Amino acid sequence: MRREDVRAFMDLLKRLPSNATKHYPGKTLQQAADLAERAGLPRMSSDTANGYLRSLGAIFRFAVDEGYVEADPSAGIMLPKAPGRAKDKRSPFDVSDLRAIFSAPLYTGAVNDEAGYARPGPNIVRRGRFWVPIIALFSGMRMNEICQLTVDDFVEEDGVVIILIREDDDDETKRVKTEAGIRFVPVHPELERIGLLAFVQNRRANGPKVPLFPDLPVGSTGYRSDPFSKYFNRFRHKVGITDRKKVFHSFRHTYRDALREADISDQKVRALGGWSSSRTEENYGRGLRASTLARDIQAVKYDGLDLSHLHVKQLS
């Protein structure tokens, strides 16, 4: 590949929409770019495009090291970083937001967890709509990472139960956003108190790889997160959270703030949240042990938020 080929690839990336394979499955990148332009779809961010260029560069650097090529033709080729706009940045939830979310009828008693989720009633239905926000709050997982979970993503390692965030070659809809996103997160004690592990165990009776939340509908793109995103947008308005900067992804920002407050090291923060690092030394060794991260995640808490009304009473 020549340097002009890399520049042509960069020009193509600039034309591609976000989630091109979701919008145009089976199409080539060129076809997807052409169709997206005709449809007026927003283009992928420069950060995302540069991520692809960095991956290409990593391949070439390997090839140089191994003597397959003499030079990296992608060296220095990057899109300029788009200036950040404050209005586009997501804000974390504050404790009043969290109280509003988890004191909604869905968590205190609703008609049901479908059309009647916002009307007070006798039922607390522990299915997808109940669990996805709680898991996000205590794991920092992205919406799609949670919605796509299967029961075999919960395993015991190093004496603790962890959640595997991973891709599946047999399931094209099971994907992670970045390479750093492939990780594991220990199950937070509060999730255990609320009954997540018991819920997972009950779902195991239906098969070894069944979806954890089959009740969440699959969207036209094949992802459960797409319909859930629309639902959660309605939900947050119902509980009075109308700030456009506060969306489902705010749980991830809230979680990162909680990790900072717990004085957890940067390396552990990146491991727990799937945030990437440019530090080469972190690519060496086996990584952090599950028991090590489990000790740290216990320190994640939200002062002023009481979820004891959701705890599952243990049978004596």
Nearest to 165 by CA among 218, 39, 150, 196: 150
Q: Write the CA distances from 315 to 93, 195, 282, 312, integer angstroms.
A: 34, 12, 44, 9
Per DSSP, the residues of 237-302 read HHTT---TT-STTHHHHHHHHHHHHTT--HHHHHHHHT-----GGGGSSS---HHHHHHHHTT---
Lowest mean pLDDT among 27-41, 127-141, 229-243: 27-41
At residue 147, the pLDDT reads 95
pLDDT at position 44: 82
From 180, 160, 196, select the one nearest 298 (Cα to Cα): 160
CB of 235 closer than 8 Å to CB of 245: no
* CATH number for the domain formed by residue range(s) 90-310: 1.10.443.10
Contacts of 55 (CB under 8 A, 6+ apart): 179
How far is the C-alpha of 283 from the C-alpha of 270, rounded, in Å? 13
The confidence score (pLDDT) of residue 102 equals: 98
Query: What is the tens place of the pLDDT at every residue in 189-213?
Result: 999 999 999 999 999 999 988 999 9
Which residues make up the CATH 1.10.443.10 domain(s) of the chain? 90-310
Residue 273 pLDDT grade (very low, low, confident, very high; cuts 50, 70, 90):
confident
Average pLDDT, the chain: 86
pLDDT at 219: 87
Q: Which helix (H) or strand (E) segment is 113 a member of?
A: none
DSSP string, 153-214: GEEEETTEEEEEE--BTTBTT---SSGGG-EEEEPPHHHHHHTHHHHHHHHHTT-TT-BS-T
> How many C-beta atoms lie closer than 10 Å to residue 26's C-beta?
7
Q: Residue 47 in 3-state DSSP?
A: helix
The whole-number pLDDT of residue 179 equals 54
Report which of 54, 51, 32, 52 is spatially closest to residue 43, judged by C-alpha positions: 32
pLDDT confidence tier of residue 84, bands split at 50, 70 and 90: low
